[in-house]
Amino acid sequence: MLKFIRFFLPPMLAGLCIALVIIWFSPNLKNALLPKLDVTGHYSSSHMSFADAVEKASPAVVTIFSESISSVPRYMRANTTQELGSGVLMSHDGYILTNYHVVNDADQIMVILTDGRRFDDVQVIGFDTITDLALLKIDAQHLPVIPIDNNFTPRVGDVVLAIGNPLNLGQTITQGVISATGKQTLTDSPYNNLLQMDAAVNVGNSGGALVNSNGVLVGITSAQFRTRYNIDIQGISFAVPYKLAKEVMQKLIQDGRVVRGYLGFRGAAVDSTGKEVTDLYTRIVGLRVSDLDPLGPAWQAGMQENDIIVKVAGEPVTNPQKTLKFIGNTRPGTRLEFQVYRGDELRTFTLVVAELETRAN
């Protein structure tokens, strides 16, 4: 025992002294390991909280009530349909993003701010059925605005908070993580890439804010994709990413509608052998043309089913979503050059971009 103490105790004491010196002169370690005083003056352990994020973001999330009145047939008493939703203040002068289905066919729209102010004279600037977004405007100044970071890119695993007014219970916060990005399967549209998350979203949350742990806007939540199948879904909800919502908002402000380019085909990603790509790690070399619209520009220019597009406007096709987004963002009337393989033959087509027609639901 004495031999053990003689040989091992001095190195152990020396190591302990070195560790204490490192902790004392390292602020991060010191703050993490030493106990802290709470507001009462007592020592307490640290805890995780999103209160600061909520405090920054929640004043910019509003409640929206819309009302549609049906007067047909005339001899019957008018039928009234009310819709509850949320919205996000995007500017100090009253621009509000929400879901289109919240204000669809509304005869009267009312906006209530978190401070209790009520606005009955609400203007619908425009809407986009593909992304299920609508832009409203209220006549006010110096309003609270949702925190925004244009450089932020959401990633799978990010902690997110959904802020809205579910079931008219008052402003409510739910928490979860982003489960997936770039989801298109629910919308059947290449122009809408949704965020999937597990934060609880219920009726009334539609159009509310999805923010990160710093209170920065990540997306606009939507309960539509939860309820459209009329089944009880747990742990799966969706939001329109902020960057896409911003693009839609800017187009609605500029044109009152979202103008998208249209060429009249769908495309499946393929690799260098022409095999369809089903995972994210295989190198993409082209898009196989399918579902040609006989009245669309691609058909009229001579493209055929199973042609493989390898270049658009001189740029190689390496990402199908990027290519389809480029086409969608091209103004109608623009001429685009396509390089296409038909079998082993490389062909060039020049297409005049048309406008994608959308209809209100």
pLDDT at site 19: 65
The residue type found at 335 is: R
Mind telling me the catalytic residues? 101, 132, 206
Q: Residue 189: helix, strand or coil by DSSP?
A: coil
Of 5-9, 47-51, 67-71, 309-313, the least confident: 5-9
Q: In the chain, count of helices (H) and strands (E)?
A: 8, 23
Say if residues 168 and 175 touch (Cβ distance below 8 Å): no
Question: Mind listing the pLDDT tens digit for each residue in 297-309?
Answer: 999 999 999 999 9
Q: What is the largest CA-CA distance in the chain?
A: 105
Confidence of residue 80 (pLDDT cuts 50, 70, 90): low
Of 104-108, 158-162, 233-237, 322-326, least confident by mean pLDDT is 233-237
Q: What is the mean pLDDT of residues 315-343?
A: 88
Rg (CA), the chain: 27
For residue 135, what are its two tokens?
């832009």
The C-alpha angle 310, 313, 315, rounded to 5 degrees, equals 55
Domain boundaries in the chain? 49-69+82-258, 261-355
CB-CB contact of 136 with 87 (8 Å): yes
End-to-end Cα separation, the chain, in angstroms:
85
Query: CB of 241 within 8 A of CB of 219?
Result: yes
Token readout for 34 is 């030493």
DSSP-based three-state secondary structure for 312: strand
Q: What string of DSSP letters covers 85-99?
A: EEEEE-STT-EEEEE
| Percentage of residues of the chain with pLDDT beyond 90 | 51
pLDDT for 230 beyond 90: no
| Average pLDDT estimate for 31-35 | 54
Confidence of residue 276 (pLDDT cuts 50, 70, 90): confident
Looking at the predicted structure, is the pLDDT value of residue 96 above 70? yes
**Residue 185 banded pLDDT, cuts 50, 70, 90:** very low
Where does the pLDDT of residue 71 fall: very low under 50, low under 70, confident under 90, or very high at 90 and above?
A: low
Question: Given this chain, do its domains 49-69+82-258 and 261-355 carry the same CATH topology?
Answer: no
The HSE-up count of residue 213 (CA atoms within 13 Å, CB side) is: 10
User: Can you give the pLDDT at residue 186?
Assistant: 41
Q: 49-69+82-258 sits in which CATH class?
A: mainly beta
Q: How many Å apart are CA 237 and CA 145, to the nearest integer?
A: 24
Determine the average pLDDT of the residues in 7-29.
63
Contacts of 280 (CB under 8 A, 6+ apart): none
* Nearest in space to 239 (alpha carbons), one of 200, 271, 268: 200
At 246 the pLDDT is 95
188 pLDDT above the threshold of 50: no
User: Selecting from 2.30.42.10, 3.30.750.24, 3.90.660.10, 3.30.70.260, what CATH number does the domain 261-355 have?
Assistant: 2.30.42.10
pLDDT at 5: 57
Whole-number average pLDDT of the chain: 83
Tokens of 64: 């929206």
